[in-house]
A and B are shown apart, each in its own frame.
Chain A
Amino acid sequence: MRNVYVLGTGMIKFGRYPEKTVPELGGEAVLSALADAGIAMDQVQFLACGNFGQANASYAQRILQTVGQTGIPAINVANACATGSTAFREAYLSVGSGLYDIALAVGVEQMGKQGLLGGGAGGADPAYAPEGKLGSGLMPAVFGQAGMEHMRKYGTTLAHMAKIAVKSHKHATKNPFAQYRTEVSLEEVMNARMVAYPNTLFMCCPTGDGAAAAVLVSEDKLRQLAGGRKRPRIAASVLTTDPYTARDAALPDVSTLTRTAAQQAYEAAGIGPEDLSLTELHDCFASAELIHYENLLLCKEGEAGKFIDEGGGQHPDLGGKVPVNVSGGLLSKGHPIGATGVANICELVWHLTRDERARERQVPDAKVGLAHVIGLGSACTVNILTI
């Protein structure tokens, strides 16, 4: 693989845009990323577009029809919650392989006020729909139970997980791109309406609309186009799926594929978790962030609760260490599925390049960033960027 760099990034504030079309949302992110990169659409040689909810809608082509019909190869990517990050990886592979010199990744999703995800419909006759009759396959239940495994094994408490939601909401107050920017107290989180134990309302990510884009270039193109600006290198871009476990039919294992991806990514990048300046990980629920501290080796096995109690995951400005989800994470920044993985990349790039867009929450001296996404099914991506 050749070296690949992120030349430009752009995203729209996550929220709700019922008056906009999906190609418009995606197109805005694309135009923002192109402007940031200092290039025009007709210089782009390949486009990978991530959208999950309407995977058959050909949004890659429709975005080109919105911002520039240049006739380039374009693909539509769907990979559960890892849709955007998989599109980013496709763009990375297209440049890393030597096939193209400039590629564009865009992730976009318009979910509106879509409620609970998962559960399954149950075929032609609703009498056989399993949801609520054979337990729950809803996302809050699945990721709640992943956290319960940690509780069972290590005595972790609901308060540990609630503290994560407090942290995320506090972080988001500094991010103008976040869907929710209101601080919440530990009491408010713990006393909020329970969605699926152990996750209360504030411990569940919202649904919403959003888009994010990134321009990826080869080293030669970086020299030509960066104009002396330092741009992050993609030191690792890993994608894994879940290996067999005896509980597969009942409860997806969201940990093993994350651990494998992290291990491969650290190895490829030639760094360790201690080298990370910041991490954006997949906190679809507070219970999920807790287990990923260990899965990504940010703390020792079984010590996620202790890690949280000692300020782990908090921004250094708040007196914390090992900053995680300084953007506000999925819990507060939002989780428009296809956009999430690319938005994570934007966040890393902005810290690594001292970009104005991360000014209020800049992690000091940021040199290495890790972005993790997991989608049920399951797919996991870990991208490591260095500068």
Chain B
Amino acid sequence: MAEQSQTQGPRPIVPFLKLEPKPHLVGKRCGKCGAIYLSESRIACAKCMSRGPFSDVALSNQGKVHVFSVIHQSFPGIKTPYITAIIDLPEGVSVRANLIDFPAEKAEKDPHSLFDLPVEMVTEVVAKDREGHDVVRFCYRPKK
């Protein structure tokens, strides 16, 4: 699209989503106890109370559904229903994200079909920001 060619490229919706070289999430790991945080910087560890040091750790694109909810009522402009899920990652940290490619009706009818479901991360453009950049989110779908 002509409009897209004028932008300077996509931007991640949150700083812990990295788009290059391939989309992945990055955590900050405490060098003392191993706790992982999804924040850009940490001054101390809330778990072991040490000052770290903290280092970047690339998180897996695979995970498992811990729990979920199906959102039917939301703010204006947000399309419902959709599934929100807590995804446990193998590194020992969890993220909150939309679960796509899974019917909301099935999730409500048979909730146990979703618990522990293996999922994989995908990214997609969800908005355009004021400067014209595509805004990219991460979400999860059942592992193929």
A contacts, CB < 8 Å to B: 116, 119, 125-128, 130-138, 140-141, 144-145, 148-149, 151-152, 155, 193-198, 244, 246-251
A-B contact pairs, 12 of them (CB 8 A): A130-B13, A130-B14, A134-B14, A134-B97, A135-B97, A138-B71, A140-B71, A141-B84, A145-B69, A246-B35, A249-B93, A250-B87
Please report the C-alpha to C-alpha distance between residue A125 and residue B98 in the assembled complex, in whole angstroms.
Answer: 21
Interfacial chain A residues near B84, Cβ < 8 Å: 135-136, 141, 145
- Contact yes or no, B79 A132, CB < 8 A: yes
- Contact yes or no, B69 A141, CB < 8 A: yes
- Contact yes or no, B97 A148, CB < 8 A: no
Interfacial chain A residues near B19, Cβ < 8 Å: none
Identity of the chain B residue whose Cβ is nearest the Cβ of A148 in the assembled complex: B67
- Contact yes or no, A134 B72, CB < 8 A: no
Please report the C-alpha to C-alpha distance between residue A197 and residue B67 in the assembled complex, in whole angstroms.
Answer: 11
- Among A116, A155, A196, the most chain B Cβ lie within 10 Å of the Cβ of A196
Interfacial chain B residues near A126, Cβ < 8 Å: 127
Interfacial chain A residues near B14, Cβ < 8 Å: 128, 130, 134
**Which of the four size classes fits the interface of chain B?**
35 or more
B contacts, CB < 8 Å to A: 13-14, 35-39, 46-47, 66-75, 78-79, 81-82, 84-88, 92-98, 107-108, 111-112, 115, 126-130, 135, 137-139
Please report the C-alpha to C-alpha distance between residue A224 and residue B38 in the assembled complex, in whole angstroms.
Answer: 57
Please report the C-alpha to C-alpha distance between residue A25 and residue B47 in the assembled complex, in whole angstroms.
Answer: 42
Known contacts A134-B98, A136-B96, A246-B35; 10 further A-B pairs (Cβ under 8 A)? A128-B129, A128-B135, A135-B97, A136-B84, A140-B73, A145-B68, A195-B73, A197-B68, A249-B39, A251-B66
Interfacial chain B residues near A155, Cβ < 8 Å: 112
- Among B71, B72, B86, the most chain A Cβ lie within 10 Å of the Cβ of B71
Shortest beta-carbon distance from A263 to chain B in Å: 21
Shortest beta-carbon distance from A208 to chain B in Å: 18
Which residue of A141, A152, A248, A250 contacts B71 across the interface (Cβ within 8 Å)?
A141
